[in-house]
């Protein structure tokens, strides 16, 4: 999402300036045109040459130094920027920006900017919590700037608490989210992810290989597209994304209850969870002891959540997933009609490079009107973007 975007990265004088080097590198690798502005204090931590080599662009430090005499640098640089990111933002820089002080290249540029501005504070926890800093942060929010919540942990000063600059990869994710089309602004999106767990006894259960990566990717992208996202999930192999309402469950019965209670208020429901089709008919309250010879466990069907939602849907756009190992088109088409869904996303999970547990996926999207779209192998996050763009055609 940052490819061919121009980003002005403003680096102020804190020890976390070293992370801005990695951030510059990751953004350039993603295809962004990164230009760096530094304060004189920042140069005490990282030299201009480092950012120039990483960004492949001149580095701006002096408001009176003009690289091109036909242009006023601090005006031109913001006029041609799609986004400004201040990382790290020290208490001093935050105070200047909050009060309109423009005494160097960085603050002068930001004061003249019309593009969105993201500010990522990083400082000692006591400086961060000081009433003056908190007041200045609230002032910046009132200007429309986006403030990133600092991380909590060990700080360079020896204190433990808030004030850490987020890791570069987390900052890249936040920056990318600025460029997502807000297709779902004001919409409520309900997504299920991961496997369910059906207990045999307190230490044993039936489940499957679902990692939840696809559902989490869908939740992240829907959030970045402006939706209010609820993620009902079984045990996941990846973290729950920030900015979504997470509802953890274990069994298929729990997932049915949580999804059903939220269905009416949803505009889009994506059932990407791998829900167990069967569960033990008898659940032992104590550990079932080993017996010599074969052991038979009687199973009973679980409630078909997707089918029950298909029977109830009114205004909702309902999406189902089908993990197949053979005759994908035949099985997917039958499931789409049987479950009364608007879209059916089918993928072949017989290989190890896509599907369950993998970072990539390739699917065929079946529409209720009979059309199909084959989406080639790509990262699950890229695939989530394509799928949600398709789904929006039906969401009103």
Annotation says 157 is catalytic? yes
**Tokens at 386, concatenated:** 């394509």
**Residue 89 in 3-state DSSP?**
strand
| Phi, psi angles (nearest 5°) of residue 379 | -65, 150
> Is residue 321 part of an annotated ligand binding site?
yes
Residue 59: C-alpha distances to residues 10, 47, 83 (Å): 10, 10, 17
- What is the Cα–Cα distance from 174 to 386, expressed in whole angstroms? 19
- By CB atoms closer than 10 A (0-12, 13-18, 19+), residue 327 is exposed
Please tell me which residue in 10, 21, 115, 157 is annotated as part of the active site: 157
| Residue 288 burial class via C-beta count within 10 angstroms: exposed 0-12, middle 13-18, buried 19 and up | middle
Q: Is 348 exposed, middle or buried (0-12, 13-18, 19+ CB in 10 A)?
A: middle
Residue 96 marked in a binding site: no
DSSP 236-290: -SSPPPTTSEEEE--SHHHHHHHHHHHHTT-SEEEE-SB--SEEESS--SSPPPP
Strands in 245-248's sheet, in edge-to-edge order, are 245-248, 228-233, 188-193, 268-271, 317-324, 343-348, 360-367, 372-379
170 is in an annotated binding site: no
Q: Is 281 labelled as part of a ligand binding site?
A: no
Those residues whose C-beta lies under 8 Å from the C-beta of residue 220, and which sit 6 or more positions away, are 173, 241, 244, 381, 384
- Residue 82 in marked binding region: no
Could you give the angle at the alpha carbon of 204 between the alpha carbons of 202 and 208, nearest 5°?
130
Residues belonging to the binding site for CTP are: 277, 287, 321, 335, 339
Residues belonging to the binding site are: 277, 287, 321, 335, 339
Active site residues: 157
């Amino acid at each position: 999402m940052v490819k061919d975007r121009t980003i002005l990265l403003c680096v102020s004088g804190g020890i976390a300036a070293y992370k801005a080097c990695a951030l510059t590198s990751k953004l350039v690798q993603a295809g962004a045109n990164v230009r760096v502005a530094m304060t004189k204090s920042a140069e005490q931590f990282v030299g201009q040459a480092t950012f120039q080599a990483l960004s492949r662009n001149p580095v701006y430090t002096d408001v009176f130094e003009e690289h091109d005499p036909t242009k006023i640098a601090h005006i031109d640089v913001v006029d041609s920027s799609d986004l400004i990111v201040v990382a790290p933002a020290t208490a001093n820089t935050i105070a200047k920006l909050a009060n309109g002080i423009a005494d160097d290249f960085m603050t002068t540029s930001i004061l003249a900017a019309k593009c969105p501005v993201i500010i990522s504070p990083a400082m000692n926890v006591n400086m961060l919590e000081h009433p003056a800093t908190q007041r200045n942060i609230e002032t910046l929010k009132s200007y429309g700037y986006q403030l990133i919540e600092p991380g909590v942990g060990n700080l360079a000063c020896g204190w433990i608490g808030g004030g850490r600059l987020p890791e570069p990869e987390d900052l890249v994710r936040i920056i990318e989210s600025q460029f997502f089309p807000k297709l779902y602004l004001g919409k409520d999106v309900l997504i299920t992810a991961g496997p369910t767990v059906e207990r045999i006894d307190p230490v044993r259960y039936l489940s499957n290989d679902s990692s939840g990566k696809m559902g989490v990717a869908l939740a992240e992208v829907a959030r970045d597209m402006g939706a209010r996202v609820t993620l009902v999930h079984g045990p996941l192999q990846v973290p729950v994304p920030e900015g979504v309402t997470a509802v953890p469950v274990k069994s298929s019965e729990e997932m049915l209850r949580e999804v059903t209670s939220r269905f009416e208020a949803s505009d889009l429901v994506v059932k990407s969870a791998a829900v167990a089709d069967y569960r033990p008919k008898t659940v032992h309250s104590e550990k079932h002891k080993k017996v010599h010879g074969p052991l038979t466990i009687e199973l009973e069907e679980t409630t078909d959540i997707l089918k029950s939602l298909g029977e109830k849907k009114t205004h909702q756009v309902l999406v189902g997933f089908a993990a197949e190992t053979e005759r994908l088109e035949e099985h997917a088409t039958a499931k789409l009609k049987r479950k009364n869904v608007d879209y059916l996303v089918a993928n072949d999970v017989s290989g190890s490079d896509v599907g369950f547990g993998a970072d990539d996926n390739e699917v065929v999207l079946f529409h209720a009107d009979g059309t199909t779209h084959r989406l080639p192998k790509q990262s699950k996050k890229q695939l989530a973007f394509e799928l949600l763009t398709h789904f929006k055609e039906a969401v009103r």
